[in-house]
């Protein structure tokens, strides 16, 4: 089936008991067994839950994995919960290669949690696969990519880095949260594992926290299923239900996110109060050609640097009315933040430090003219000071 149909139907057949067209929230911790050790597919909700299973089938389908194909998805309690599952596959002395502009939470986990357990890490500019190759060590077990990256919106050539990972026999994990499976499918391009924070675009309504890992590799999938059951960072049934609800409108929402973001990026590029704009859909983006090959559209995220520096970034972020000053992204409402002081504070003073005057926009699905007017008043007022 096509993407929009899978988003509504994969794993979401009408309930056989009542005929309900929406998957029920199975708020139960345990299940009756017909005899000791003989159950009907579910025994304990940490191990498996029908609502969570429906979400996992849907997520796998959106990444191109059918129910009868090897591999699948696991739904976790958060994006960092999904990241932790990858961490559990590592042993002391193993090396993880990170992008040099990774999400702050990802950096914190590998550099300040796993490093204390003997896991080694280093960071490299992954926009050039040659640099990735030279940064490999004999102990490299995971190559971790974000594309587009958070918050600089750089792209990683998934096919090229995937080839490097295969040669190194390293697990290639792609955090595709910004793109969603609607805009790109990393598994089709050479990734071993796709990670999503389902909190963001997949949920889409800023009302749930969740994560997911998806892989076609049956051995990895079996390992992930064992680890999530053993460690327990599962998605609860209501959280899974909320993400399922969000998936149904993912395609139409992403179309509007991308359309609005493209208009805003072009507006910002010509505004005298803006020094630089980072958006893969702009022809001025240094990797625009890669974006055109690898992504369906430019996405809903924009970063910019205002003319007035750090103080201007703070004033602008406080001056918008429709763009709420808040962390996170991917909801129907527009958000604005200053990453260096908010989502990326954990990388301050490291090689992954982001510009202090960078503003990040999560462009929502409001009417484009209202969003443009809101940004114009905030930027123009600050530029006139």
Distance CA 273, CA 290 (A): 28
CATH of 3-247, one of 3.40.50.11290, 3.40.640.10, 3.30.460.10, 3.30.1380.10: 3.40.640.10
CA distance 216 to 103: 25
Q: What is the pLDDT of residues 128-159, one digit of tens each?
A: 999 999 999 999 999 999 999 999 999 999 99
Query: Known catalytic residue: 374?
Result: no
207 is catalytic: no
CA 284 vs CA 226, 260, 379: distances in Å = 45, 18, 21
**What pLDDT, on the 0 to 100 scale, is given for residue 349?**
84
User: Catalytic: which of 46, 133, 137, 225?
Assistant: 46
* Predicted confidence (pLDDT) per residue in 18-76, tens digit: 999 999 999 999 999 999 988 989 999 999 999 999 999 999 999 999 989 999 999 99
103 is catalytic: yes
Set 141, 154, 185, 200: catalytic member: 200
pLDDT at residue 178 tops 80:
yes
pLDDT at 199 over 60: yes
| Whole-structure pTM value | 0.96
Q: Respond yes or no: is residue 175 known to be catalytic.
A: yes
What pLDDT does 37 receive?
86
Question: Can you give the residue ranges of every domain in the chain?
Answer: 3-247, 250-384
pLDDT of residue 385: 54
Q: Which of 94, 175, 239, 374 is catalytic?
A: 175
Q: What is the secondary structure of 345-366 as a DSSP string?
A: GGGTTSTTPPPTT-EEEE--SS
Distance (Å, rounded) from C-alpha 117 to C-alpha 93?
9
Q: Which of 103, 182, 201, 279 is catalytic?
A: 103
Report the C-alpha gap between 340 and 350 in whole angstroms: 12
Model confidence at 383, pLDDT cuts 50, 70, 90, reads low
* Class (C level, CATH) for 250-384: alpha beta
CA 207/CA 69 separation, integer angstroms: 32
């Amino acid at each position: 089936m096509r993407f929009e149909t899978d988003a509504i139907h994969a794993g979401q057949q009408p309930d056989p008991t009542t005929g309900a067209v929406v998957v029920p929230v199975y708020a139960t911790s345990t299940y009756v067994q017909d005899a000791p050790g003989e159950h009907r597919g579910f025994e304990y909700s940490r191990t498996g839950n029908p609502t969570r299973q429906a979400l996992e089938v849907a997520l796998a389908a959106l990444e191109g994995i059918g129910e009868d194909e090897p591999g699948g998805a696991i739904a976790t309690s958060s994006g960092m919960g999904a990241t932790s599952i990858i961490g559990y596959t590592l042993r002391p002395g193993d090396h993880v290669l990170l992008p040099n502009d990774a999400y702050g939470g990802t950096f914190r986990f590998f550099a300040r949690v796993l490093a204390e357990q003997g896991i080694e890490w280093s960071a490299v500019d992954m926009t050039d696969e040659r640099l990735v190759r030279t940064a490999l060590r004999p102990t490299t077990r995971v190559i971790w990519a974000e594309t587009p990256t958070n918050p600089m919106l750089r792209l990683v050539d998934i096919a090229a880095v995937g080839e490097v990972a295969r040669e190194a026999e390293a697990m290639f994990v792609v955090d595709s949260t910004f793109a969603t499976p609607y805009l790109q499918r990393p598994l089709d391009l050479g990734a071993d594992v796709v990670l999503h924070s389902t909190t963001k675009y997949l949920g889409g309504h800023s009302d749930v926290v969740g994560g997911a890992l998806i892989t076609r590799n049956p051995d990895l999938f079996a390992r992930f299923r064992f680890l999530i059951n053993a460690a327990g960072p599962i998605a609860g049934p209501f959280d899974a239900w909320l993400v399922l609800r969000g998936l149904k409108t993912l395609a139409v929402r992403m179309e509007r996110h991308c359309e609005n973001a493209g208009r805003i990026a072009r507006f910002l590029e010509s505004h005298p109060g803006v020094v630089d704009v980072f958006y893969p859909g702009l022809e001025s983006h240094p990797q625009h050609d890669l974006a055109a090959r690898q992504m369906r559209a430019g996405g809903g995220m924009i970063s910019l640097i205002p003319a007035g520096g750090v103080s201007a970034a703070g004033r602008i972020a406080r001056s918008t009315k429709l763009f709420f000053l808040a962390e996170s992204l991917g909801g129907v409402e527009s958000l604005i933040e200053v990453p260096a002081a908010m989502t990326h504070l954990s990388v301050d003073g490291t090689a992954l430090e982001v510009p202090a005057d960078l503003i990040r926009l999560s462009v929502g699905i409001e009417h484009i003219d209202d969003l443009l007017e809101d940004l114009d008043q905030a930027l123009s007022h600050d530029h006139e000071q």
